[in-house]
């Protein structure tokens, strides 16, 4: 009986849902104390805030909040700006990281020359670049995109670089013996080797693209979910802060899921974990 309750592949989803419900119940119970609620918010009010943003005229919301709906923001405008910044930064940072990662991995002389500068740039806390990007590019979306690109670029770059370096010398030697030229090696050996590394980095890059966009909105913006959260913090409206975090997290999971689907489609040749164990 107890063995059936242990986490396994069959009941894992129930454990995940149960953990979520348990955390929500604990949050609700702790927030019943007004002193704690001031700092951690109330889950019912957070849910109502999100509901009022996306469904401002719903009758159900009036039932949950007889005193009236929580303050409504034009969430679609703010969310659209943040998503645009995130998606642009994600694609630009990924392409630049892929190109430079391949180039330096295949050009040992250039890699040796640029190595200390790349390490220095990666070690620098890139959030401090936000004011500089603001001066260069203004307070529009491009300063936020530029900051987020710096976060995404290095994750993709180092994974691509390492993926190309991990190519088996035996595979390379066999391909050259069969007459493969440089372009053919790139297409049939180097890129497939780096693909799994690239997708591993993309899952992390989605979150970092959001981080860059939101931090940029914090430091100077008139639109975006980060700006909305900053305004709520200024009025000590912790429920709106958590509502903004929930919305950002939900859309980050959606983008990560899209990346995961693309990965499954492009990585059909790679054996799955269950298939590997059977072998």
Looking from the CA of 208 toward its CB, the CA atoms found within 13 Å total: 23
- Cβ neighbors of 74 (< 8 A, separation 6 or more) are none
DSSP structure class, residue 186: I
Quote the CA–CA distance of 248 and 153 in Å, as a whole number. Answer: 21
Start-end of H helices in the chain: 2-5, 12-30, 34-40, 43-54, 59-64, 75-106, 108-123, 130-137, 141-165, 169-177, 182-185, 191-219, 225-234, 238-266, 273-278
Residue 205 backbone zone (phi > 0: left; psi -120 to 50: alpha; other: beta): alpha
DSSP structure class, residue 236: T
| Token pair belonging to 242 | 């958590």
CA angle 38, 44, 45 (to 5 degrees): 55
CB 218 within 8 Å of CB 230? yes
* Of residues 158, 129, 121, 159, the one with CA closest to residue 145: 129
Quote the CA–CA distance of 216 and 207 in Å, as a whole number. Answer: 14
pLDDT tens by residue, the chain, 279 residues: 455 567 666 778 888 899 999 999 999 999 999 888 989 999 999 998 888 888 755 444 444 444 444 445 578 888 999 999 999 999 999 999 989 988 898 888 998 999 899 889 888 888 888 888 988 888 889 999 999 999 999 999 998 888 888 777 777 777 777 777 777 777 777 777 777 788 888 888 888 999 999 988 888 888 888 888 888 888 889 999 999 999 999 998 998 888 888 878 776 655 555 444 444
| Token pair belonging to 107 | 């050009």
Residue 29 backbone zone (phi > 0: left; psi -120 to 50: alpha; other: beta): alpha
What CATH class does 75-278 carry? mainly alpha
Distance of CA 230 to the CA centre of its chain: 20
CB 239 within 8 Å of CB 39? no
What is residue 267's three-state secondary structure?
A: coil
Domains of the chain, residue spans: 2-64, 75-278
């Amino acid at each position: 009986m107890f063995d059936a309750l242990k986490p396994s592949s069959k009941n894992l989803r129930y454990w995940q849902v149960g953990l979520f419900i348990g955390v929500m119940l604990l949050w609700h119970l702790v927030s019943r104390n007004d002193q704690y609620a001031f700092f951690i918010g109330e889950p019912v009010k957070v849910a109502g805030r999100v509901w009022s943003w996306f469904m401002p005229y719903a009758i159900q919301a009036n039932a949950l909040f007889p005193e009236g709906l929580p303050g409504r923001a034009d969430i679609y405008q703010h969310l659209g700006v943040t998503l645009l910044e995130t998606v642009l930064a994600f694609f630009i940072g990924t392409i630049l990281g892929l190109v430079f990662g391949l180039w330096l991995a295949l050009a040992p002389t250039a890699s040796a020359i640029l190595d200390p500068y790349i390490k220095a740039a990666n070690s620098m806390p890139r959030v401090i670049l936000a004011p500089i990007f603001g001066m260069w590019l203004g307070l529009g979306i491009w300063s936020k995109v530029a900051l987020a690109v710096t976060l995404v670029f290095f994750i993709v770059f180092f994974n691509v670089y390492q993926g190309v370096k991990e190519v088996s010398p035996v595979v390379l030697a066999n391909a050259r013996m069969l007459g493969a030229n440089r372009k053919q090696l790139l297409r049939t050996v180097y890129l497939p080797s780096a693909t799994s590394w690239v997708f591993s980095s993309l899952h992390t890059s989605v979150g970092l693209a959001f981080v860059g966009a939101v931090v940029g909105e914090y430091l100077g913006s008139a639109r975006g979910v980060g700006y909305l959260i900053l305004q709520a913090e200024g009025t000590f409206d912790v429920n709106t802060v958590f509502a903004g975090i929930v919305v950002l997290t939900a859309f980050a999971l959606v983008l990560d899921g899209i990346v995961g689907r693309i990965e499954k489609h492009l990585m059909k040749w790679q054996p799955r974990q269950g298939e590997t164990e059977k072998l």
